[in-house]
Structure 1
Amino acid sequence: MNGKIYQLPNTRNFLINFLLFTSFKVRSYRFQWPADVCANWAFEMETLILGWYVLTETQSIFWLTAFGSLQFMGTLIAPWLGVLADRLGRKFVLCSMRAIFVILASILMLFAFFDVLTPTYVLILSLLNGMLRPSDLVMRQALVGDTVPKDTLANALGLTRISMESARLFGALIGTGIFALLGISYAYILVVCVYSIAFALSLGISNVTHKIKSRDMPKSQWRDFKEGINYVLSTPAVLSIIWLAFLVNLTAFPIIRGLFPFVAKEIYFTGEIGLGHMVATFAAGALAGSLIVALAGPQVRTVKFMFINIILWYVMLAVFASIESEYYGLISLLLMGIFHSQGMVSMSVILIGRLDPHIRGRVIGIRVLAIYGVPLGLLGTGYLINAINFQNTVNLYVVIGIVLTIAIWFNWRRYL
């Protein structure tokens, strides 16, 4: 591995990265980043508003975890949408999905205003939204890989991650605040408006296509998909990252993506505002971690950096589960957010940097299949919390996660 990867940037380059955010020199990225910010804000507000609505209306941890699981059902079709994007253009597919998000949010808003909204309707609309939401991540990462030069890829993906964490920070505070004060109807006016802005900004993104010779052109989407699978299976470095991604989605993400409403209500005995504080604190830490990655540049391309942060993320999950005080719980969430973000951004940098451009959409689509670990993990927590309580459930997930993370490192370390 090139020794330059481990060198600290000099002061001048560090300041340039900090003051100019070099990725914004790319016109397409100047549209994509704020579009992604708005999409993430809307996603986060929907998740918190509807999660709290389902929990309070049903009084059931099972239906809360079922709601969380439905948001990731689209992982099954993400590879096919990745293939479609490789053929039709990633901008076209991204804009189409974001237009559908506007329509679905508008329907839910009307149901709320006419006072006909029920948990059943929420679950149905969440399923439809969840069929596309994972693929939004596929398109945005592939577009970053298409439009941003490789030497600024870490900066771009760090800033892209910032858009996700800023959504959790501000979306949590604003969304839950409006929900608590005015109710779900008016909160969803904001959700629809933010989705609409995301769609409008997405129209300014460049549509990059990768031409291949006609004799090499796959004849069907199924053949495209198999080509992506074969690429992953024949590239040990990529395969190891996808297994690691599945592991953290199965054992770590369910705690931070689906169980915060349960912790707020049943452990901290707080309401929507307290839930917003939890999510915002975690997001503040993740935002700080993303900024570190965006500014550090080549240092985050190291595999060691990725593995260390993922293990520290698991450690902080165990600490968080052992705390019953909201104040100390928020401190643990802040630290957890830092390690979570640094680990996940470095994973994206390493993966995207090693993919051939013509197959990038297909492989990232396959990587997004790893998100299917989230609904599986959430359904597991729904059963285990009732059986062995919240802390023991988290500790079980943490032990499994750390052991298998170390196993992945030892098995594929010579390829990474």
Structure 2
Amino acid sequence: MSDFARPSALAPFRIRNYRFQWPADLLTSWAFEMETLILGWYVLVETGSVLLLTLFAALTYVGTLIAPMFGVAGDRIGHRNLLAGMRAIYVTLSATLMLLAFTGTLSAVYVFIIAAIMGLVRPSDLGVRGALVATIMPHDQLIGAISVSRTTMDLARIAGALSGAGLFAALGMGPAYAAIVCLYLASTLLTLCVVAPSKPHPVDEAAAGALRRSPLRDLKEGVAYVWTTPRMRAAIWIAFLANLTAYPISNGLLPYIARDIYGANQTVLGYLSASFAVGSLAGSIALSVIGGVRVARLMIGATAMWYAMLLVFAHIQSVPAAMACLMAAGFLQSLAMISIAVILMRTASEHFRGRVMGVRMLAIYSLPLGLLAAGNLIGEIGFVATASLYAGTGLLLMLIIALHWRADLWHVHAPANAR
């Protein structure tokens, strides 16, 4: 085959392990989306408070503070083993909520408690699955594999938004949660079918002795590794900024936007969430088949346009226009986030991948901070002003980051732009 042949989006599925990991990730993300939509709507209806809605959304990300330790654990016990254990926890917690719903004892307090426990583990799932993809895939297929892997989140958000809203509206909380438990259980079993090295292969005696070192020392080395690599540090800052100022608008606040801005029900909420996911899926597929892109330049351009689209979304007053805008925002978001993942995984040493992705997940902690601040700001200045402030500030700070690290992110011959 010619070196210039167009890559196939299905090429990663030639790897046996990937054929198990991809559906496992899809089912997990599907359950995530159903839970987020169902519980977000439940909290908003039961409490009537947008501040409590943002608090609930923030609780689901509290584990980002310990995400680097999940990276350390993955480097030590194997990313497959860690991921299977995490998903077994999801089964247990979702089954608890299902039983509470069926027995009629569910309340907002229990939802907040379970969300807080789930939030300790769930934020690290994306990082661990990314490290596992990098472990099982050949280096030359990594961009395609990460892009196709990203489609699990996009497909799941479409299916989760529509099926979650439909099941919740038609059958109630209990049956909807029974479906979620089944999804988590199937994903756990599929993850266990992945046959990957239980531990990274040490390349020298120092690496072989890594398991005898303190986990805190491993964590410190991982943070230092990212901090002293300019392209990685810039990518982490952009990820931090996007979670602080972009995702709250198009993610955690959607139940409020659907009910209070558009006066709609949970079905319209599902349509809004699915619109963002359709655009994101299109972005993932496009990047998986294009190949040969300058990923750092793509990261900068897509992030800037994403913020511009959110500025437009803040002033839209009709549901169809909002759906179209969210679709475009989702497309650009996908290009930006895949580019960040590729920059981190393609340039990281094998025995640092778990820790690098752990640091990447730590950047998600800005999302609950952004959500909580938005909840307060909306009460003071309204949604339009808050969303405009977030998008405008995010765009400005992102451009400052790009200018500061322009030698590492924009120059054609920079390692981050290698094809």
Render the CA deviation track for 1:246-297: whole Å, top value 9, x for unaligned. 0001000111220000010001111010100101111111111111011112
1:271 aligns with 2:271: no
Gap change, CA 1:356 and 1:257, over 3 Å in 2? same
1:93 corresponds to which residue? 82
TM-score by length of 1: 0.95
Residue of structure 1 in register with 2:402 after alignment: 409
- Does the Cα contact within 8 Å between 1:293 and 1:346 map onto a contact in 2? no
The 2-side partners of 1:85 and 1:377 are apart by: 28
Higher mean C-alpha deviation, range 75-84 or range 105-114: 75-84
Q: Distance in 2 between matches of 1:354 and 1:206?
A: 24
Aligned equivalent of 1:187, options 176, 186, 195: 176
Secondary structure class of the residue paired with 2:352: helix
The partner residue of 1:123 within 105, 112, 119 is: 112
1:33 maps to 2:22: yes
- After TM superposition, the score normalised by the length of structure 2 is 0.94
Structure 2 counterparts to residues 1-12 of structure 1, below 5 A: none
Confirm or deny that 1:17 pairs with 2:8.
yes
The answer for unaligned runs of 5 or more in structure 1 is 1-8
Match of 1:148 in 2: 137
Instruction: Show the 5 A alignment for 1:204-353.
Output: 204-208=193-197, 209-212=199-202, 213-216=204-207, 217-218=209-210, 219-299=213-293, 301-353=294-346
Q: Tell me how far apart the structure 2 counterparts of residues 95 and 298 of structure 1 sit (CA, whole Å).
A: 33
- Structure 1's consecutive aligned runs of 4 or more residues displaced over 4 angstroms after TM superposition are none
User: What SS does the aligned partner of 1:298 have?
Assistant: coil
1:377 paired residue number? 370
Helix, strand or coil: the match of 1:291? helix
1:105 corresponds in structure 2 to 94
Question: What SS does the corresponding residue of 1:117 show, helix, strand or coil?
Answer: coil
Cα offset for 1:139? 1.1
Question: Is the partner of 1:210 in helix, strand or coil?
Answer: coil
For residues 103-147 of structure 1, what are the alpha-carbon distances to aligned partners after superposition, in whole Å with 9 as ceiling and x for unaligned? 000000000000000001001001111110111112100011111
Residue 206 of structure 1 and its aligned partner are, at CA, apart by: 2.5
Equivalent residue for 1:5? Answer: none
What is the CA distance between 1:415 and its match in structure 2?
2.0
Give, in angstroms, the shift of residue 214 of structure 1. Answer: 4.1
- Which residue number in structure 1 is paired with residue 417 of structure 2? none
> Which amino acid in structure 2 is aligned with residue 35 of structure 1?
A
Q: Which amino acid aligns with 1:271?
A: N
Q: Give the stretch that moved more between structures: 204-213 or 262-271.
A: 204-213
Q: 1:225: how far off?
A: 0.5
> CA offsets per residue over residues 307-328 of structure 1, 9 Å max, x none?
1111111011111110111111
Q: Please state how far the C-alpha of 1:232 moved relative to its aligned partner.
A: 1.2
Q: What amino acid sits opposite 1:111 in the alignment?
A: L
How many angstroms does 1:298 deviate by?
2.2
Structure 1 counterpart of 2:159, from 157, 167, 170: 170
How far apart are residue 331 of structure 1 and its match?
1.0
Deviation at 1:302, TM superposition (A): 2.5
Q: Using the alignment, how far apart are the partners of 2:21 and 2:50 within structure 1?
A: 36
Determine if contact 1:70/1:126 at 8 Å carries over to the other structure.
Answer: yes
Aligned match for 1:161, one of 131, 150, 156? 150
Letter in 1 for 2:219: F
5+ unaligned residues in a row in structure 2: which ranges?
410-419
The total of aligned residue pairs comes to 403
Deviation at 1:97, TM superposition (A): 0.4
Once the 2 structures are TM-superposed, how far is the Cα of residue 207 of structure 1 from its aligned partner? Answer: 2.4
